[in-house]
Structure 1
Amino acid sequence: MHELGLVSGILETVGKTAREAGASRVVSVSLRIGDMAEVNPETMEFAWDVLREDDPLCVEATMEVAYVHPSSVCLDCGEEFEHDRFHLRCPACGSADTVLITGREMDIVSMEIEDGA
């Protein structure tokens, strides 16, 4: 269950950034996570609900996640294509010589805070 470690790291970064900005609270955090990162959405939500309570700045924060579907490029024919986690062969030429270009993201995109004033 690597989601606990992920959420812990996210909250650590968010809390530190919010404190440096003089925030009175974190309202929301937006994430972008690739399907290939093997993150379970329900476990991620559970970890968020549990771990955010450890930081008074984040205790009421919501988490919004945009999941990114995998896409690859074929090194043989140059075709760019979307696929699921298991089918990486080029649909144009059938080659398995492909490189993932999206789908492993794990980004904090933005956070909304209230300032201390």
Structure 2
Amino acid sequence: MHELALMEEVRRIALAAAAAQGARRIHAVKLSVGRLSGVDPDALAFAFEVVMAGGLSAGAQLELEVVPTVCRCAACDENFEPVDVIYACPDCGCLSAEVLAGRELELTGLEVS
């Protein structure tokens, strides 16, 4: 379960940011997780509950945004969201595509006091 290690790093970053602001409590952590990131959102939420259980982060809420996969067709330059594991452009049928979004795992926000 690599989500636990990922969440431990998120906690480390959140605690450092909270300390830099002189905060005494972390209320919410906002994450963006791409569908292609290899991260299971349910496992990440479970890891959040385990890792954030004590200290400044006790009781913190997780706000998780799942980012859809977005590709750009190499032939017609259209952006599209693939419907399966074969990234075929719905406009022209080309199988060559560049992934524009969906791989990310980003800490996008932190609510502290």
Pick the TM interval, shorter chain: over 0.9
Q: Does 1:57 align with 2:56?
A: yes
Deviating runs (4+, > 4 A) in structure 1?
none
- Residue matched to 1:29: 29
Which structure features the higher share of strand residues? 1
SS in 1 for 2:36: helix
CA contact (8 A) 1:31 1:66 kept: yes
When the two chains are superposed, the root-mean-square deviation of aligned CA atoms in Å is 1.2
Q: TM-score, normalised by structure 2?
A: 0.93
Q: Does 1:10 align with 2:42?
A: no
Give the percent of matched residue pairs that are identical in Structure 1 and Structure 2: 30
Q: Which runs of 5+ in 1 are unaligned?
A: none
Deviations 1:54-73 (A, max 9, x none): x5111121111010110100
- Report how far residue 84 of structure 1 moved: 3.9
- Residue matched to 1:83: 82
Q: Which runs of 5+ in 2 are unaligned?
A: none
- Residue matched to 1:96: 95
Q: 2-side partners of 1:82 and 1:46: how far apart?
A: 28
SS in 1 for 2:76: coil
SS in 1 for 2:29: strand
- Report how far residue 38 of structure 1 moved: 2.2
Count of residues in Structure 1 that have an aligned counterpart in Structure 2: 113
CA contact (8 A) 1:70 1:82 kept: yes
